[in-house]
Amino acid sequence: MAVKLSRLVRRTERGATPLTVPELSLVLKSSQPPERVLSRALSSVASLLRLWRVQCLDLTDFWIQGHSLITLLCHQGPLSLRLNSDTLQQLTVVVYEAQDKDLTQWFLEKVGGDLTSCRLDWEVLLSLLQHSTHNITVDLRKNRLLEKNISDLLPFLGRVTLKRFSSSFVKSSIRQIYDSRASDCVSSLLRSSDHWINLNSRELDRVDCTALCFTLQHSHQVKVNLLWTSIPPGEIESILPLLDRVSQLSVDRRLLLSFLQCCAASQVQQGAPPPQTAVWLLRSLHYRLDFSCSSSVDLSAQDQEKALCLTTDHCRAISSVLKQNQHSTQLVQNQVQLILRDCEVEDRALRELLPILHIVKLSPSKALLLQLLDLVCEGIEEGLLRHTESLCRALDGELDLSETRLDQKACGSLALVLEHSEGLSELDLSHCQLTDHHLQPLITHLHKVQVLDLSHNDITDALTDRILQLVSTNTSIHTVRLFNNRIQDRRPFLTDKRFDIW
């Protein structure tokens, strides 16, 4: 087909302005044509390229021996080649063995420097870099570079984009850069890594930490991954002042505690500390203190299923960092999210968090939420009503105790909180095994809830009149879900569309 098309173009278009073709695909009847047929087809395509301006030539449908493509590489013009991975792999080796600068440059230009599908020996990669000026993209998962190769790669980092490189490679790279004091290589490394310093699951010694600090000193708006990274005692203090250069910090919950405790201790030691260090830490965490298991799923660890036990010292450090900086512009504009799911906290430790409830958005576990309700009620008895409103505000007006068995004490605490608060936008008490008896202390204060979910409980007809009266006299109530209870006569509820019952 290519032969016929080439002859046709020669006859009809001789002397005419060349036609521009965005993309040309070579499709043969067989996916593995004889070499003679393929050679003729490629020769015809080469002739066609002299007559047409083809921007992209797609040869992905079949495997081609590398030496058969040399003619196409030498084509003068803005041509890009699209090859299947096996063809590209062999062509790369052919170009390497030729050791020709022009051929290497043409090859990389034609394939756009994208060698991510190739498995390259270190000698091949180094030769391609030395014999061309074109950028190259490689997949480090397929190309295991040894630590000894990194020092030779450093001068070319500005032209290499590294895909899927490991944290061990990053650790060795920043160590090599630090050892040679090659600060100009930092920007090249970060550019090739999409501005990530990934030290995930690495065990750092003191020199590694110094190398990290050296890298940060010569960085700007860099992202740092320290998930499950081991850092020696005393080294976090060196990292903290450099967080102003970090746009995103990823840490597991145990390392997060270490950063917060170090930050709090620094504030105490300095007496009147510059608040910027803590603010930089919170900003790099995107104002999110996440102590849930979702931030700590380490498949190599055996104890990750255990709940994190927050001590009084832990909670005091969290509270100290937030209180000391609550009036900073960044914290005024960005509310800190405190995620305490999958955590166990003793009452004494939890009390340390009460004074900061008004400045955080709280996401607790349901067990922890019950603890907070009890603690806040103790505060009410002591005249500390501010904690009640702070808790409701921290929960963003939504209190979810669904699928939590509530006893009479818990219902009493919830009633007391509702009594001394401005109200809730939503209260979810579904699947709580609530009976009429449980609901007695609550019903007087449920007018402060806009959306009330009482579904899947054991409420009976005995409370029908009180519930109807509650809703009819309070227009602030938008929805009351009562389905799947033990209410036999549903007719009284059908006249008010705010009831959801069937």
Tokens 């409103």 belong to 389
Query: Is residue 467 within 8 Å of residue 436, measured between CB atoms?
Result: no
Among 188, 197, 200, 242, residue whose Cα is nearest residue 224:
197
Q: What is the mean pLDDT of residues 366-375?
A: 94
3-state secondary structure of 364: strand
Strand residues in 343-393 grouped as ranges (E): 343-345, 360-364
Encode pLDDT of 378-414 as tens digits.
876 666 678 888 999 999 999 999 999 999 999 999 9
Indicate if the alpha-carbon torsion angle 442, 447, 449, 455 is positive or negative.
Answer: positive
Q: How confident is the model at residue 254 (pLDDT cuts 50, 70, 90)?
A: very high
Q: Which residue type occupies 179?
A: D
Helix (H) or strand (E) segment spanning residue 438: helix 436-443
% of the chain beyond a pLDDT of 70: 90
Query: Is residue 328 within 8 Å of residue 279, measured between CB atoms?
Result: yes
Helices 85-98 and 122-130: crossing angle in degrees, nearest 10, is 70
pLDDT over 50 at 444, yes or no: yes
Whole-number pLDDT of residue 12: 43
3-state secondary structure of 237: helix
Domain boundaries, the chain: 165-251, 253-266+276-292+310-390, 396-501
Beta bridge partners of 399: 427
Indicate if the alpha-carbon torsion angle 275, 281, 285, 289 is positive or negative.
Answer: negative
- 254-277: buried (b, 16+ CB within 10 Å) or exposed (e) per residue? ebbbebbbbbbebbeeeeebebeb
Q: What is the mean pLDDT of residues 425-433?
A: 97
pLDDT over 90 at 370, yes or no: yes
Among 340, 342, 323, residue whose Cα is nearest residue 282:
323
Q: What is the mean pLDDT of residues 128-143?
A: 91
Encode pLDDT of 70-82 as tens digits.
989 998 888 999 9
Residues 6+ apart with CB under 8 A from 202: 167, 168, 171, 208, 229, 230
Pairwise CA distance, residues 213 & 162, whole Å = 22
Q: What is the mean pLDDT of residues 215-219?
A: 97
Beta bridge partners of 427: 399, 452
Pairwise CA distance, residues 95 & 102, whole Å = 10
Helices 35-51 and 2-12: crossing angle in degrees, nearest 10, is 30
- Phi/psi of residue 407, nearest 5 degrees: -90, -175
Q: How confident is the model at residue 302 (pLDDT cuts 50, 70, 90)?
A: very low
pLDDT over 60 at 28, yes or no: yes
Homologous superfamily assigned to 396-501: Ribonuclease Inhibitor (3.80.10.10)
3-state secondary structure of 6: helix
Q: What is the mean pLDDT of residues 161-180?
A: 91
Average confidence score pLDDT of the chain = 89
Tokens 């803590």 belong to 278
pLDDT over 90 at 305, yes or no: no
Q: What is the mean pLDDT of residues 27-49?
A: 78
Which pTM was predicted? 0.84
Neighbour order of strands in the sheet with 288-290: 288-290, 336-340, 360-364
Q: What is the mean pLDDT of residues 338-366?
A: 94
Residues 6+ apart with CB under 8 A from 119: 89, 142, 143
- Which tokens sit at 175? 């160590």
- 364-403: buried (b, 16+ CB within 10 Å) or exposed (e) per residue? bbeebbbbbbbbbbebbeeeeeebbbbbbbbbebebbbee
Terminal Cα distance for the chain, rounded: 71
H and E: helices and strands count for the chain:
21, 18
Among 58, 48, 51, 63, residue whose Cα is nearest residue 24:
58
Q: How confident is the model at residue 14 (pLDDT cuts 50, 70, 90)?
A: low
Residues 6+ apart with CB under 8 A from 302: none
Query: Is residue 389 within 8 Å of residue 424, measured between CB atoms?
Result: no
Pairwise CA distance, residues 247 & 256, whole Å = 16
Among 336, 337, 346, residue whose Cα is nearest residue 315:
346
Helices (H), 243-326: 253-270, 276-284, 312-324
Pairwise CA distance, residues 328 & 322, whole Å = 10
Query: Is residue 452 within 8 Å of residue 422, measured between CB atoms?
Result: no
CA angle 483, 486, 490 (to 5 degrees): 60
Radius of gyration of the chain, Cα coordinates, nearest whole angstrom:
34
Q: Which residue type occupies 470?
A: L
Pairwise CA distance, residues 323 & 315, whole Å = 12
Whole-number pLDDT of residue 299: 46
